[in-house]
Amino acid sequence: MALNTDRRYVSMGGSAADAAEVDAGLRSHMLRVYNLMASGLVLSGIVALLIDTVPAIQSLFYVTVDGQVAGMTLLGMIGMWSPLIILFGAMFMMRSASAAATQGLYWLFVTLQGIGLSILLQVYTDASVVRVFFITAAAFAALSLYGYTTKRSLSGMGSFLIMGVFGLVIAMIVNLFLQSTMLQFVISGIGVLVFSGLIAYDTQRIKEEYSASLDDQTLSKSATWAALSLYINFINLLQFLLFFLGNRE
């Protein structure tokens, strides 16, 4: 089935062969995005698993008492918050960074994110984390496929979803002090809806931003930023679903 970008290209005077080339280029671009995202998830998972299962590594990030995790070390706290700092820094250098620097930031981000994800393995049973991971992967695949194939424009959802993210951040900061189970339930429910919407929205946005006329370096940077946005959506959806479906230790 020809994509909308191809039909527009044909209507502007391009041949069917040219449109097919654009279509193939888009599929190649999306495959690169998904491969980067999946590789990032694997790397984060390996880091989290090493921290959880290797005592010598765990002791660098967690304080243990009688074999039980009692809190995080200073290095653990720095590692947990550093991805957020990297993310804010990346926003300012998005246009000026080279393709190599962009990929370097991506791999640094997903590696450090593994420290934060290791907390999930302390809170929830390993079996339930694995189960919810595959549930999240199935939901991601369905939502991303919808965003890629739907003819309906999802652009109107963008501002609403971003406002939802800011609202979630504020609510989570407030709940750090309130420690309300009911508020956490509401936050998690809204979080599932918001990040489910963002997966479909970002997929469509990534598809529509693709242009076959871009050079290889620009396409490489574009794929890396796209993978990062989908990676963040996946991780957040996983964490919110764990609240409902995960079994606590």
192 occurs within a structural domain: yes
Token digits of residue 182: 């009911």
Q: Indicate if the pLDDT at residue 7 is higher than 70.
A: no
pLDDT (0 to 100) of residue 90 = 82
- Pick the closest to residue 241 from 249, 114, 233 (CA basis): 233
State how far the Cα of 222 lies from the Cα of 242, in Å rounded to an integer.
30
187 occurs within a structural domain: yes
235 occurs within a structural domain: yes
Q: Indicate if the pLDDT at residue 13 is higher than 60.
A: no
State how far the Cα of 121 lies from the Cα of 109, in Å rounded to an integer.
19
Exposure string of 173-200, with b = 16+ CB inside 10 Å and e = fewer, is: eebeeeeeeeebeebbeebbebbbbbbb
- Pick the closest to residue 173 from 184, 189, 163 (CA basis): 184
pLDDT (0 to 100) of residue 243 = 95
Structural contact between residues 237 and 196, judged by C-beta atoms closer than 8 angstroms:
yes
Range with lowest mean pLDDT among 5-9, 14-18, 88-92: 5-9
What are 65's strand-pairing partners?
Answer: 68
> How many structural domains are present in the chain?
1
Token digits of residue 202: 């970002």
60 occurs within a structural domain: yes
Structural contact between residues 233 and 195, judged by C-beta atoms closer than 8 angstroms:
yes
pLDDT digits (tens, 9 = 90+) for 45-59: 999 999 999 999 999
249 occurs within a structural domain: no
20 occurs within a structural domain: yes
Domain region containing 205: 4-244
Average pLDDT, the chain: 89
37 occurs within a structural domain: yes
Place of tokens 């936050």: 187
State how far the Cα of 190 lies from the Cα of 167, in Å rounded to an integer.
10
pLDDT digits (tens, 9 = 90+) for 143-179: 999 999 999 999 999 999 999 999 999 999 999 999 9
175 occurs within a structural domain: yes
Give, in order, the Cα–Cα distances in Å from 206 to each of 7, 79, 80, 169.
18, 29, 28, 24
* Cβ atoms within 10 Å of 37's Cβ, excluding its own: 25
State how far the Cα of 212 lies from the Cα of 219, in Å rounded to an integer.
9
State how far the Cα of 33 lies from the Cα of 209, in Å rounded to an integer.
13
Amino acid code (one letter) for 142:
A
For 41, residues 6+ apart whose C-beta sits below 8 A from its C-beta are 110, 231, 234, 235
pLDDT digits (tens, 9 = 90+) for 77-123: 999 999 989 988 888 887 788 899 999 999 999 999 999 999 999 99
Q: Averaged over 209-220, what is the pLDDT?
A: 84
Q: Indicate if the pLDDT at residue 12 is higher than 50.
A: no
pLDDT (0 to 100) of residue 10 = 39
